[in-house]
Amino acid sequence: MSSIQPPTLSFEVFPPQSPADRAALLTTLDQLRGCHPAFVSVTYTNHQLDYEQATLGLAQTVQARVGCPVMVHLLAAYTSKTQVSRILADLESLGVTQILGLRGDLDPGQTPGADFPHASDLIRFIKARNPQFRLAGAGYPAGHPESPTREADLAHLQEKVAAGCDRVMTQVFYDNQQFDRFRADCAARDITVPILAGILPILSRQQALRVETDFGARLPQPLRTRLDRVWDDPVAFRAVGLDYAVEQINDLVAHGVAGIHLFTLNQASTVAAIYARTAALFEK
């Protein structure tokens, strides 16, 4: 029997905005239960939402419905030390011990707080106050859009790891060579924590048009060509997007990725389609 551990498989969901969205999310969570995830992450993308209701409420639902560890997103830019201390206490009471520390998008109409200018400041604060929490930080294979250079971006990642991150979770990407370069650059800087690859299937024309602006993720020409061929056929378009995601995952696993983190968009059908074709890659 091989002693090599298979990669982890995890999923991301986000708080629903309507009763219909909640019903769809519950179906997705039921689907996730059969995928045996290492953890499910719960986003918090809008600092104007009520964190306890949106993120902590969903974390409880995931624990009850999926029965796996939960990782919650926590944003630095608009959060104070007092708020974080209260949230950490709430997380402890819920049995949630994993956090993805992010700076968060800046709102042009609102001044960010002074306590945590960067994700590394938030991570350092949590690790000093509650060292039992497992902390993850974000990595950017294409480089963070606000970083002046790739070297500056990698230096920021080093700061997050030094502050207490035990894992890196990447922004979405569609060129595995870009991920390979990022992983090599991390190794050259002695960033040795596991790097989980963020995968977001492109399932619609609207999504294809948005990924570069929303995520800074470049679509490689072979993928563009395949999508162009089915641009006016939504069913075929979705099939091509799913095929490409599966190909990405197979290639990443073949090259020793530590884990795959699948952005579900709360769609059960996407989870089912990809897991059916990749489950054997994650079996112990």
CATH code, 209:
3.20.20.220
The residue to which tokens 């009471």 are assigned: 93
What pLDDT, on a 0 to 100 scale, did the predictor assign at position 63?
96
With respect to residue 161, please indicate whether it lies within any of the assigned structural domains: yes
Residue 72 counted as domain residue: yes
In a domain, 194, yes or no: yes
Give the residue from 27, 134, 17 showing the smallest Cα distance to 74: 134
Parent domain of 99: 8-282
Query: Given CA atoms 65, 71, 75, 80 in this order, what sign does their dihedral have?
Result: positive
Token digits of residue 149? 């250079």
1: in domain = no
Q: pLDDT value at position 93?
A: 95
CA distance 24 to 14: 12
Q: What is residue 55's DSSP assignment?
A: I
Residue 2 included in any domain: no
What residues in the chain have per-residue pLDDT under 50?
1-3
**54-91: burial string, b at 16+ Cβ within 10 Å, e else:** bbbebbebbbebbebbbbbbbbbbbbeeeebeebbebb
The pLDDT, as a whole number, for residue 283 is: 87
* Residue 245 domain flag: yes
Report pLDDT for 170.
Answer: 97
Whether 14 is covered by a domain: the verdict is yes
Token pair in block for residue 45: 């993308």
Q: Looking at this protein, which amino acid is placed at residue 16?
A: P
Is residue 199 classed as helix, strand or coil in its secondary structure? strand
Q: State how many domains the chain has.
A: 1
| The token pair that represents 217 in the structure block | 């993720």
